[in-house]
Amino acid sequence: MKPYFEQENFKLFKGDCIEILRKLTKNSVSLIFADPPYFLSNDGITCKAGRMVSVNKGKWDKSQGHEKDYDFTLSWLKSCKKVLKNEGSIWISGTLHNIYKNGFALEKLAFDILNEIIWFKPNAPPNLSCKYFTHSHETLIWAKKNNGHKHIFNYNEMKNWENSSDKLHQKGKQMRTIWCIPVTPKSEKISGGHPTQKPLELLKRIITACSDENDTIIDPFNGSGTTGIASYLLKRKYIGIDNDKKFLEMTKKRFKEIVQ
């Protein structure tokens, strides 16, 4: 299977993530970070840069109905489990629109859920409808493949993690399950942006916590490639999968800028 792009242990594949994951080597990956469709493109509105805009992000984010959405979730998670090492783990990000489907699918596939992390966004945009509380967090589920094997957790690195923007963590204290990280800054979108792009700080924290140098990291929904950039900076190997050429090209550009 030929990569769309490959350089310095950094590989990108173009295509359906389920099909590509099925072709990868079994038990070869230490960590998976997945930012799957949230299924929230429902013709509503949201706030972006202080302006009212459509919440629609693309066809890939539209719900196909509860059963089809769940079947898709179960399928890609099943493919992920195949490539994970016995001591490997997976992180999944989401909101109320999709995270419960992911949690139920993880239990259905006998993953062992380890933690639920709340990513609090101190600079989240306001709710323009004024009909709900302002959405200011996302949920991340951390689960390991096999309850019978010890998973990777770099406890001391997390305990001594430094980030001046996270007022909820004090260096030298155990890291808790609420992380205060601002939304993705403009400086991380100079090569273009993805509508669900995650901040580099979030991925660096996850990858540092749950993998070691030279481990292989996979993101089945590559997007703008933040997982890959963080993996490269932390000296991990990376495999990113996306079916949109535009976002793969954006990732290539970001990677080449980092290398240079």
Report the CATH number that the domain containing residue 48 is assigned in CATH.
Answer: 3.40.50.150
Tens digits of per-residue pLDDT, 126-141? Answer: 887 888 899 999 999 9
3-class SS string, 53-85: EECCCCHHHCCCCHHHHHHHHHHHHHHHHHHEE
- pLDDT above 80 for 59: no
- Tokens standing for residue 137: 């967090």
Helix or strand holding residue 204 (H, E): helix 200-210
Tens digits of per-residue pLDDT, 140-181? Answer: 999 999 878 999 999 999 999 998 889 899 999 999 999 999
- Tokens standing for residue 165: 């923007």
- pLDDT above 50 for 54: no
3-class SS string, 90-119: EEEEECCCCHHHHHHHHHHCCCEEEEEEEE
Q: How confident is the model at residue 52 (pLDDT cuts 50, 70, 90)?
A: low
pLDDT for 58 equals 53
Tens digits of per-residue pLDDT, 182-196? Answer: 998 988 888 777 778
Mean pLDDT of 212-238: 97
Provide the residue range defining the domain that includes 103: 5-259
The number of folded domains in the chain is 1
- pLDDT above 90 for 79: yes
> 216 to each of 8, 77, 91, 96, how far by Cα in Å?
13, 17, 14, 30
Q: What is the mean pLDDT of the chain?
A: 90
Spatial distance between the Cα atoms of 11 and 95, rounded to a whole number of angstroms:
28
Whether the model clears a pTM of 0.85, i.e. scores above it, the answer is: yes
